[in-house]
Amino acid sequence: MADWLEGLITELRKFGSEATRVEVKAAASGLPASARESLAAFCNSPGGGTLILGLDDTPGFRPVGLPDARKLQTDLAAMCRDDLTPPLQPNIFIGEVDGSPVVVAQIVELPREQKPCYITAKGLNRGTYIRVADSDRRLTAEEVHQLIAERGQPVFDTEAVGDAAVADLDGAAVDGYVSRLREQNPRLWANESVETILRMNRVVVPDAAGEYRPSLAGLLSLGHFPQQYFPQLNVTFVHFPTITGESTPSGVRFLDNVSMNGSIPYMAREALAVIQRNMTRRSLITGEGRRDVWEYPPEALREAIVNALVHRDLSPGSRGTQVQIELYPDRLRIQNPGGLFGSLDVNRLGEEGRSSARNSLLLKLLEEVSVPGEDRTVCENRGSGIRAMISSLRRAGMGPPLFKDRVTSFEVLMPNHALLDDETVLWLSTLGREGIRDSQCIALALMRRGEVLDNSKYRAATGVSDSRVAYFELQDLVARELVDQTGSRGGARYTLSEYAKSVGTHEARRRPRPNRRLQIIEALAHLGDLSKAEIAQTIGASEKTAEHWLGRLKRNGEIEVIGGKNRSKNTRYILSQQLRLLLEDAETTGQ
């Protein structure tokens, strides 16, 4: 636990601000009442978080000196138990930072069926918070009701649309849907009427009076104009001329501004066409040379648009919010109402086997509804959309999308830049480290742009599916002194090392990187047999770096292992007989 806390404080100080999952409070005069808001916010937010009492919240995060850490720990436990509904039982312990005590609480995210947690004295509608960036935000009453509605499987998409009639369905779309069902499963549907098929698949459902009307899912999948009943269940697109969204000096506010209506299949197709209409092409460097590609690969756009449309919140309180697409000179943003549903975690999106459907009927119907004018259905409903999005961006030489889950909304952000552009490719070539894998190059390029990676983000960005392989590749970069690691185990974070940042600059030419191979050979030549720890101390490097170079020297036949098994603490290293003879000859001849 001490190592975990040390890594967390190192990370806070390195980046100079509190993080989404960390809140720091001085608490020098006792437990602050605002701690209740942070506790409630963390357990309502994806991944939970950590509250640290006893540190100044300035960028240095220095200890304030708690007069009675034990009492503060007791008071915090009582606050979790008595001031919040439902009561919390976080892991609370006393740690140490720079020799001074701090009180640390690790708060886990509540299960969906227990949310939301709220401050009891303020009540449900005024005392519910979530974490946004590095602060706690109070939810509106409507947002609170959305969380309550999602304690179980939402069924808003199965509801009958009160004023709608079967005639509001698109006849051609219905014919295509029925034909596909009969073709895919003739045993079930070949001999059933269209009316029966629509009823059994809940495209139409009975209302309170027993009259059959289109369900919300049926109307969105096969309706002619669902916006007749739900004007805001559509898609809006805005192309901004500036990265801030402000008008240009000449007063131009939008380059394009479009509202798309109709069923989901038509809106998805039109949204993709509108984005492409506003995109340009760029050059991509490949093994065969250069080729022109779209700024954003169409497959990635298609998946992001469909995901936003089919996973959006359809509860009554969210039906006044559209799916929003915003194109800026440096990024594309797609946002839908409703955060991730179920057990999904934003840091594990795209992993195989992870899928959770908020609108299960809608997804089921769209499995069999074709995209207008194309020979494919709108979605597969196999949880593969995010993986396809990431893969297509990777093939286009771009970095992975950024996902933001804010409980009541979900955002996909695609930066508009080639990850491996000319400058980055040149930089990678000057690192001078043979044997680096393609996946490691992608990670290095991302970190060069300021990204902070962990194991899951590394896998999402590179396509490495096994967390153990990702760990090995990240540790290899640490050993090569190209990457710095803060934290350990599941909390490990990786950033570009100062050496890697300086490659190609005047600073790198002024202070060249030490030749670790030569340093180790010289240490063994002058000091005799040494352990890995002794070598690391002698050359001023980490044990990971020493182990990396010892492995290379051993493979080259330049050193030998004595005493203990390989990689054990008792293992010691000496120069190989062949290298000793070469060094003796060189010394004799004066070379």
Buried residues in 277-293 as b, exposed as e (16+ CB within 10 A): ebbeebebeeeeeeeeb
**What's the confidence (pLDDT) of residue 6?**
82
Residues 37 and 70 in one domain: yes
**Confidence category of residue 447, pLDDT binned at 50, 70, 90:** very high
Q: What is the mean pLDDT of residues 506-524?
A: 73
Last residue of a domain, one of 494, 510, 526: 510
**What's the confidence (pLDDT) of residue 154?**
85
Residues 255 and 399 in one domain: yes
Instruction: Please report whether residue 154 resides in a domain.
Output: no
Residues 129 and 23 in one domain: yes
Instruction: Please report whether residue 161 resides in a domain.
Output: no
Question: Which residues share a beta bridge with 323?
Answer: 235
Question: Are the C-beta atoms of residues 381 and 357 closer than 8 Å to each other?
Answer: yes
Last residue of a domain, one of 445, 478, 510: 510
Question: Are the C-beta atoms of residues 218 and 204 closer than 8 Å to each other?
Answer: yes
- Ranges 2-6, 243-247, 260-264: which has the least confidence: 2-6
One-character DSSP codes across 496-518? E-HHHHHTTSHHHHHSPPP-HHH
Residues 391 and 263 in one domain: yes
Buried residues in 426-438 as b, exposed as e (16+ CB within 10 A): ebbeebeeeebee
Residues 470 and 572 in one domain: no
Q: For residues 220 and 1, which has the higher predicted lDDT (pLDDT)?
A: 220
Residues 432 and 550 in one domain: no
Residues 448 and 299 in one domain: no
- Output the six-digit token pair for 259: 């509202």
- Greatest mean pLDDT among 17-26, 157-166, 355-364, 436-445 lies in 157-166
> Given 3-state DSSP classes, what are the helix, strand and coil percentages for the chain, each rounded to the nearest 5?
40, 20, 40
**183: DSSP letter:** H
**Confidence category of residue 522, pLDDT binned at 50, 70, 90:** confident
CATH code, 308: 3.30.565.60
**Confidence category of residue 578, pLDDT binned at 50, 70, 90:** confident
Kindly report whether the global pTM for this prediction surpasses the value 0.85: no
**Confidence category of residue 352, pLDDT binned at 50, 70, 90:** low
User: In angstroms, how far is CA 480 from the centroid of its own chain?
Assistant: 26
**How far apart are alpha carbons 115 and 147 in whole angstroms?**
7
Quick: pLDDT tens for 371-426.
998 888 998 756 677 888 888 888 887 888 989 887 788 999 998 877 877 788 88
Question: Which residues share a beta bridge with 22?
Answer: 50
Instruction: Please report whether residue 177 resides in a domain.
Output: no
Quick: pLDDT tens for 562-573.
876 656 677 888
**How far apart are alpha carbons 244 and 548 in whole angstroms?**
45
Residues 250 and 316 in one domain: yes
**How far apart are alpha carbons 376 and 306 in whole angstroms?**
13
Residues 266 and 390 in one domain: yes
Last residue of a domain, one of 370, 388, 415: 415
Instruction: Please report whether residue 500 resides in a domain.
Output: yes
Instruction: Please report whether residue 227 resides in a domain.
Output: no
Give Cβ neighbours of residue 365 (< 8 Å, ≥ 6 apart). 177, 201, 203, 217, 218, 221, 222
Quick: pLDDT tens for 29-80.
999 999 999 999 999 988 899 999 999 887 788 999 999 999 999 999 999 9
State yes or no: pLDDT of 348 exceeds 90: no
Instruction: Please report whether residue 220 resides in a domain.
Output: no
Residues 19 and 105 in one domain: yes
CATH code, 493: 1.10.10.10
Full domain range(s) for residue 286: 235-353+380-415
Instruction: Please report whether residue 179 resides in a domain.
Output: no
Instruction: Please report whether residue 172 resides in a domain.
Output: no
If phi over 0 gives left and psi between -120 and 50 gives alpha, with beta otherwise, what is residue 563? left
Residues 325 and 434 in one domain: no
Alpha helices in 16-150 (DSSP H): 35-44, 69-82, 141-149
Number of structural domains found in the chain: 4
Residues 388 and 291 in one domain: yes
Considering the chain, what is the average pLDDT of its residues?
87
Helix 467-479 and helix 543-555, axial crossing angle in degrees, nearest 10: 90
State yes or no: pLDDT of 507 exceeds 70: no
